[in-house]
Amino acid sequence: MRTTLIAGNWKMHLLSEEARQLVRGILAGLARVPSERELLLIPPYVWLMPVAAQLRETSRVKLGGQDVHWEGEGAFTSAISASMLRDAGCEYVLVGHSERRHVFGDDARTLARKLRAALAGGLQAIYCVGEQLAQREAQETEAVLDRQLQEVLGGLGTEEMQRLTLAYEPVWAIGTGRTATPEIAQQAHAHLRRRLAEEFGEAVASQVRILYGGSVKPDNAAELLAQTDIDGALVGGASLAAESFLGIAMAGSGVS
């Protein structure tokens, strides 16, 4: 049974006081979120430790980093290691977010190294995949997803796969207000799960959570989360306000 995970990726947003208020608001509304939903906050690195301190009063909200370097330590100015993330209170880390791929140029080899470092460092990794608009229009979506899985997950063992979450984030839906329809998202998620089953077996494939990301809002979350292969949401813009993040966390659960 896969528990639903609602993750808020703050990207490069919020100053310290804004971050503090946001976490305070989420904690204040937490009792309204059904207990079977797991929440995850992914702030900029500089706010990880203050957010971790605020989260000490609950075990329901986890903390994650937005990226990780592949080496344990060394002369890598600006980079953060898996052990630093753990030390700061993180259980999770994003790998391969589309902004890392398309703005910072992280390639498949880099992402494979980052993913292995995250898993070896004891973190749960959320590996992000997704096609660009031109690739969807050229009917290349499945081929792109296959390649993104193959290049980075190839050779992982069963134990490592247990600490892996996938996030399907179609690039054309990120920050555009243009959400994938629940049917389009479900199709992509089902495809990813089929590929996982072929590569790692049915048992592994049925355990891996696959989150959807791309303009998730309180009013479209219920329909997305109702899809068989959608196990949660990776939320950008709507995670920056407590009410909308909580609204997504509660969506479709029978409470509102």
Q: 196 or 233, CB closer to ligand 13P?
A: 233
Alpha-carbon distances, residue 131 vs 31, 45, 111, 145 (angstroms): 36, 27, 16, 7
Q: Residue 39: what residue type? A: L
Q: 186 or 215, CB closer to ligand 13P?
A: 215
The yes or no reply on residue 214 touching ligand 13P (CB under 6 A) is yes
Active site members: 97, 169
What does the block give as tokens for 158? 């069963």
Sequence-distant (6+) residues with CB within 8 A of 189 are 168, 210, 212, 227, 229, 230
Site for ligand 13P in 37-66 (CB under 6 A): none
Contact 152, 115 (CB under 8 A): yes
Chain centroid to Cα 230, Å, comes to: 12
Give, as one character, the DSSP assignment of residue 123: P
The yes or no reply on residue 204 touching ligand 13P (CB under 6 A) is no
Q: 58 or 176, CB closer to ligand 13P?
A: 176
Please identify, among the stretches 57-65, 142-150, 212-220, 243-251, the one whose residues bind ligand 13P according to the rule CB under 6 A: 212-220
Per-residue binding string, ligand 13P, 146-185, x by CB under 6 A, is -----------------------x----xx----------
Burial of 157 (0-12, 13-18, 19+ CB in 10 A): exposed
Residue 5 forms beta bridges with which residues? 38, 232
Q: 101 or 200, CB closer to ligand 13P?
A: 101
Q: Kindly report the CA angle at 175 between 90 and 180, in degrees rounded to 5?
A: 100
Nearest distance in Å: CB 32, ligand 13P: 21
Q: Is 62 helix (H, G, I), strand (E, B) or coil?
A: strand
The yes or no reply on residue 247 touching ligand 13P (CB under 6 A) is no
Say how many residues touch ligand 13P, by CB under 6 A: 14
Q: 110 or 244, CB closer to ligand 13P?
A: 244
* Of positions 121, 213, 232, 247, contacts ligand 13P by CB under 6 A: 213
Site for ligand 13P in 3-32 (CB under 6 A): 9
Residue numbers at the binding site for ligand 13P (CB under 6 A)? 9, 97, 169, 174-175, 213-216, 234-238
